[in-house]
Structure 1
Amino acid sequence: MAQFRDTLTLDAPRRTKDGFLAVRARAARTGVYQYLGSEIDPQNQHGLRDKGLVNVLRDDATVFDETAARSFIGKPITDNHPREAVTSENWRDHARGTVMGAMRDGDYLAFDLLLTDASAIRKVDGGKRELSNGYSADIEIGNFTAKDGTVCVARQTKITGNHVALVDAGRAGPECAIKDHAICDAITADELAKLQASLTKDSNMKKIVLDGLQVDLADADAVAVAIDKLQTKIATSDKALADAQSAHDKAMAAKDAEIDDLKSKVVDQAQIDALADAKAAVVADAKKIAGDKLGDTAGKTVADVRRMALDAKGIDTKDKSDDYVEARFDALKDASPNKPKVLDSIRNPQFVANDSASIHAAAKSARNR
């Protein structure tokens, strides 16, 4: 027995004193309906599974069969089609109301529906007003002709109702909504794009794997949930990537700053040579001043060498500034180690005296001449 879902139409609803929503819905009509071949012949026993759309006849005897009509009474109203048939085991999970009655209304089969769930009622008030029957039926394969002459490859018989679903978009399209006098066919050729998958487990509707979960393409809600999950993962991954890139950029900026700082501290060879020459000159001057008392100048700065020279000469530099030390050092290095030479130009222009004794001796010698 195959499973089917047909779209209904609703007349104007009314509210009970308890807040429930009561409405009469016109359901299936007689005539020709088009289904996917995979719904009619899922095992391809008759070669119809891969034929795409096929015509199926539903005649008066099937639509208005008393047993078929009564099979919907007491069945639950659901919010969207569940993925499995509603049973006593899962009724609490899916039921949002009850089918209270079934009757013939002209060329239509009508149901009295009572929505008892506040959330479902609010969705109806918010615009979710299309309905879709969930049922099973036997399929007779053969050559059948409708009243209008349309040839059909199959005929539905022995319909058994399972539930009536509240949906956003049923097979009958947006005209099948909760409003006055809106009468819609159960399934028409113009609505084939919205054809939903069979409730049977052996349906051959294509499935895809989203985030490790196999999803029936006919189950719009499951597909939406899977896609939302994937989009959330993508957003999370994008944020993590952006955060990682930001952290990397900050680390690189810090490293570049460190490199620039180190570069600023590097002295080139010319500067090194100049510093070495300057120290060598100071050391040479210091040796002239202090002689062997200077000590080892290795590893000493120019300022240190100056202080060593002055200390060796007995000049205390402990509390003296570098400027003072440099001035005293320069004064000592510029001073000659000998007394100024005095030229005796009076008596002996060729004689040079270096001290007072020599000068007196030279003067005495000059008098004796």
Structure 2
Amino acid sequence: MLLHDSVAVSGVRRTSDGYLVAEARVARTGIQDYLGSELGKPEIPIISVYRPPEAVFAEDAMRSYAYRPMTNDHHGDVNSDNWKELAVGQTGAEVLRDGDFVRIPLVLMDADAIRDYEAGKRELSMGLEAEVFFEDGVTPQGEKYQARLGSMRMNHLALVDRARGGEHLRIGDNKQPTPTGGHDMADALRKLLVDGLTIEVTEQGAQAIEKLNGKLADAATATKALSDAHATAIALKDGELAKKDATIDDLKAKLLSDADIDKRVTARADLISKAKSIADADYTGKTDADIRKAVVIAKLGDAAVAGKSSDYVDARFEILVEDAAKDPVRQHFQAQDGKQKNPNDNGQSAYEARLNDAWKGETK
């Protein structure tokens, strides 16, 4: 993994050739903070990374600090293919341990880079490759960390305006480093407007706040989308309820009055009576049209209605009703329907009537 550090520059001087020569502390032990996105963990805002002495001062690591190309800003991995294009100087060979630091000499040889340095571009950011082990732990000094560096190898050393926390970790500037090897934080503060208040925070803090503000903005957008969707759903429901209310009002308008119900009951009873006068059957549950059709079929057969319209069937039914009304036998039986009958008479009344008539004849 390629990481970027910022380091302190000291002992600066110009040579007779115009080169800028200095010494720099390029690495140190201890805790340094990185953005989670810088270490492939974008879900974690800040990760405290521990550099143990065995990683910083390992023999392979110390050798890698020497003869490294210097660049004006970072340009990714520097190698033999792009060295001629990118290099503006290099580190020296005298790699020394300085307490918790590694100190090396360096030289800037490019005139533009030297002019940038003299104009105030005075921080150095070390590009290095390192193994990162994500693990919770505590340093010998009692500081907690969430990741630890393994073997390290410097790739290049870049001249930068300001090593931003998160993308470029600060561990020094052109001033003398603090006893802990850290940064003079007054130079590293940024001003932010938060909820109407101006505050000063580190670059890491600023990036964390900006990231949180971005999440808040996303959350606000998502909330508005949900609110709009809810409003749309409510509007649809209101439309459906309005349609149901209209349907109910329409049904209410179609409700029958008592007089209408009486008329329909009378008409239904009259139809069933006519039907039974032609073909006595059970017409329960049948519509008026079905009753007429059933009567015509019962009287005339299926052929009488095959392919015929409902108006034709209704007309045939009415003709059958008229014919039934003209049948004298049927009329006699219908006339008898209203007279009282004695089912237990067994012809006794007729017999008594004949006797009575015979007696009347003898007395004449």
**TM-score, normalisation: structure 1:** 0.46
**TM-score, normalisation: structure 2:** 0.47
**Larger helix share, 1 or 2:** 2
